[in-house]
Amino acid sequence: MKFFLFIVLFLGVGTSVEAQNVGELLFKKNCVSCHGATGRGDGIRAAGLGTPPADLTRIAARRDGVWPMLEVMSILDGYLKATNPREDMPIFEEFLDNDMVEFDTGNGLITLVPIKLVEVANYLESIQNPRPTRYVP
Ligand code: HEC
């Protein structure tokens, strides 16, 4: 029994650490040049852009403490580009490969979304300052 518990704990910790790393790695590879290493909008390319890169530690703060998971993923995959162009913020089509994960949309539906979108969004959630006080799907 003790041995079993140990394995469960180990697996639990293992997956959360791994998940965090994938999102963090994707962030470091794709976002730091504009948003900066800490996500605060001070990357080396920031000064050359017409629009200042957003401070990504304040996504929830800008929305009255709400963490908007779907909105963040939709900014990255370009879904919101038509209604909110966000100048100088690229679309990341390479996140839309075939590795999907189940996502609870909050309206009783489970849908499949690209795992890389979830990983990056989860990483961004982890750097919110202050922590979100409410979560919407
Ligand atoms: C070429 C520079 C550039 C790169 C690379 C970039 N961004 Fe941006 N990003 C911007 C700019 C500029 C804005 C602000 C757009 C605006 O205000 O219209 C922005 C805005 C955003 C926003 C909206 C913030 C809000 O509160 O609405 C999110 C989320 C975001 N970026 C995430 C990312 C992530 C995650 C990556 C990497 C996967 C990334 N960005 C890569 C330039 C960049």
Read off the pLDDT of residues 95-120 as tens digits, 9 standing for 90 and up: 998 899 999 988 889 999 999 999 99
Contact between 58 and 83 (Cβ < 8 Å) = no
pLDDT of residue 3: 56
Nearest atom of ligand 1 to the alpha carbon of 46: 2
- End-to-end CA gap in the chain: 37
- Look at the block and give the residue holding tokens 């996500």: 39
Question: If you measure from the C-alpha of residue 135 to the centroid of ligand 1, how many angstroms do you get, rounded to a whole number?
Answer: 20
Residues 34-48: tens digit of each pLDDT:
999 999 999 999 999
pLDDT of residue 30: 98
Cα distances (angstroms) measured from residue 38 to each of 27, 35, 45: 10, 8, 14
pLDDT of residue 87: 87
- Contacting residues for 72 by C-beta, under 8 A, at least 6 apart: 59, 121, 124, 125
- Give, for ligand 1, the residue of 24, 89, 126 to mutate: max count of ligand atoms closer than 8 Å to Cβ: 89
Does the Cβ of 31 fall within 6 Å of ligand 1? yes
Does the Cβ of 21 fall within 6 Å of ligand 1? no
- Give, for ligand 1, the residue of 35, 87, 116 to mutate: max count of ligand atoms closer than 8 Å to Cβ: 35
Residue 85, preceding peptide bond in cis (omega within 30° of 0): no
Does the Cβ of 74 fall within 6 Å of ligand 1? no
Cα–Cα dist 76/54, whole Å:
13
Closest among 125, 126, 25 to 73, alpha carbons compared: 125
User: What stretches in the chain show pLDDT beneath 50?
Assistant: 12, 14
Question: If you measure from the C-alpha of residue 17 to the centroid of ligand 1, how many angstroms do you get, rounded to a whole number?
Answer: 25
